[in-house]
Amino acid sequence: MPVDRALRTRESRGGRSTRGRTPLTIEPGAGLPSARVPDLVLLDAAELSWVLHRREASCVEVMRAYLEHIDRFNPAVNAIVSRADDAKLLDEARQRDQELDRGEPAGWMHGFPVAVKDLSNAGGFPTTMGSPVFAEHIAAADDLHVRRMREAGAIVLGKTNVPEFGLGSHTFNPVFGTTGNAYDPTRTAGGSSGGAGAALALRMLPVADGSDFMGSLRNPAAYGNIVSLRPGFGRVPAGGFLSEPAVVGPMGRTVRDIALLLSTMAGPHERAPLSIEQDPAVFTGDLQRSFDGTRIGWLGDFDGRIPTEPGVLDLCAGTFEAFTAAGCSVEPVSAPPDPAPAWETFLLWRSWMVGSAHAELHADPATRGQLKPEAVYEVQRYLEFGAADIHRALQGRQHWYEQVCDLLDRYDFLLAPSAQVFPFDAEQRWPGEIAGREMDTYHRWMEIVAPWTLAGNPVANLPAGFTEGGLPMGVQLIGRNHGEWPLLQLAHAYELATDWTHRVLPPALRESGAAR
């Protein structure tokens, strides 16, 4: 069948296929899939685009396949919320088919079903942010990155679930409930892009948008055995004259897919004065290149300063072999910088940005009682702020950035775990201790991601493998400022050597007969 031919051509477009070549070694317990999940939802995004533009499947067929797949698998994880009416979505898909009939494709995402993170606006859809305060709010217009996805041909079918106000790297809220992990729905999917991560892992979306202040693109990808990119400041335009720690970025099942989505999200905008002027078409180029002689510095747990659950470091260190196969050398960073000052600086920025965003709701007696404790914590810290704290935040950030630059003078890339713990019980609000060390804030358990948020360097999450119990973990690959393209190229080389996303499907897909 035509779709089968698309699957066989993956390697010719820079990906991996288990068809027409020596089969990949399947990890024990991974399972060998059979053929009952629709092939269309198993296509990577680049493959799906190819199939649609060659008219080997219609936009209506793709939309129907995804809607049926979501109906089947979403109830187990609660990843996609606020879904549009099926009839309306199928009508939009017919319009996309008519545009193709006229030879008028909108872009590489023409006919793609997408769901937008529920912290971002998609015109006509609710933007609840997981809060009862905004449960009835309907967005009047798209945020810029959402508009760009629609202009590239995507069809918004709903939203992806988030923690309330995006706070905490565990996706649960009083509006829609908890999002479960694709590999074990009783465990967390991470957050705040947890709904997007679980939906991608279960093949309910071809690609997804996410955002990241404190690992919100990284730990859901690590917990879902998928890839993501936290871009550097200005790569995806945002308004204002201050490089805020939060950025929007792409999530997907392959590096090629997130590179293509970045090419859609990125690019300068006249209302974003700090946006990067580079043509985003660079991200559609050839991902393959030589990395002979490339040096990667392994930071691990910063010489024991950041606690990790037993097994995390060993699993992440298992990635060294794949980087070595790509021509790199990986070595432990000797005398890594102390992350404690960076953490204290991060806390200042966190409360400054997050607290100020929710101070008005906290001041209003009608809404104060509806704020989650984590939001109240940030607001209360913000209300104690003075000019000296802002000065410390600015100076501390510059000092840390200089230390990161020093590291990247010694190494071409850096490597660290994407999370300090494996996916934990979804009934748990957040981990209270790690390796015997008490967590003194609701987010201390994700301290490992904070240094790179603070510096603003681009960071990719790459799947690192699984525990014996089948829970995924990922590693952060950190590049130089404005270095998203070489970072993606190295991520692609790693992917060619590992291909975790296709090798180990979530149990629900294996049990249902997903073929690849």
Q: Which residues are catalytic?
A: 117, 192, 216
Structure token digits, residue 266: 């990125």
Beta bridge partners of 296: 330, 413
Q: Are 489 and 288 in contact (CB under 8 A)?
A: yes
- Residue 135: count of CB within 10 angstroms of its CB: 15
Calpha distance 429→427 (Å, rounded): 6
- The letter for the amino acid at 476 is Q
For 243-281, give the DSSP string.
--S-EEEEEESSHHHHHHHHHHH-S--TT-TT---S-GG
Q: Which residues contact 477 (CB under 8 A, 6 or more apart)?
A: 413, 414, 415, 459, 460, 461, 462, 487, 490, 491, 494
Helix (H) or strand (E) holding 485: helix 484-498
Q: Can you tell me whether residue 55 is helix, strand or coil?
A: coil
Structure token digits, residue 144: 């810029």
Calpha distance 311→59 (Å, rounded): 44
Q: What is the 3-state secondary structure (H, E, C) of 191-241?
A: CCCHHHHHHHHCCCCCEEEEEECCCCCCHHHHCCCCEEEECCCCCCCCCCC
- Residue 147: count of CB within 10 angstroms of its CB: 14
- The letter for the amino acid at 507 is P
Q: Which residues contact 111 (CB under 8 A, 6 or more apart)?
A: 52, 58, 59, 62, 63, 93, 96, 97, 100, 153, 155
Calpha distance 164→427 (Å, rounded): 15
Please name which of 451, 438, 478, 441 lies closest in space to residue 338, comparing C-alpha atoms.
451
Strand duo 295-298 + 177-178: pairing = unpaired
Q: Can you tell me whether residue 80 is helix, strand or coil?
A: strand
Q: Are 456 and 328 in contact (CB under 8 A)?
A: no
Calpha distance 44→53 (Å, rounded): 14
Calpha distance 225→197 (Å, rounded): 9
Q: Can you tell me whether residue 60 is helix, strand or coil?
A: helix
For 155-189, give the DSSP string.
EEEEEE--SGGG-SSS-EETTTEEPEETTEEEEE-
Q: Are 294 and 412 in contact (CB under 8 A)?
A: yes
Q: Are 129 and 172 in contact (CB under 8 A)?
A: no
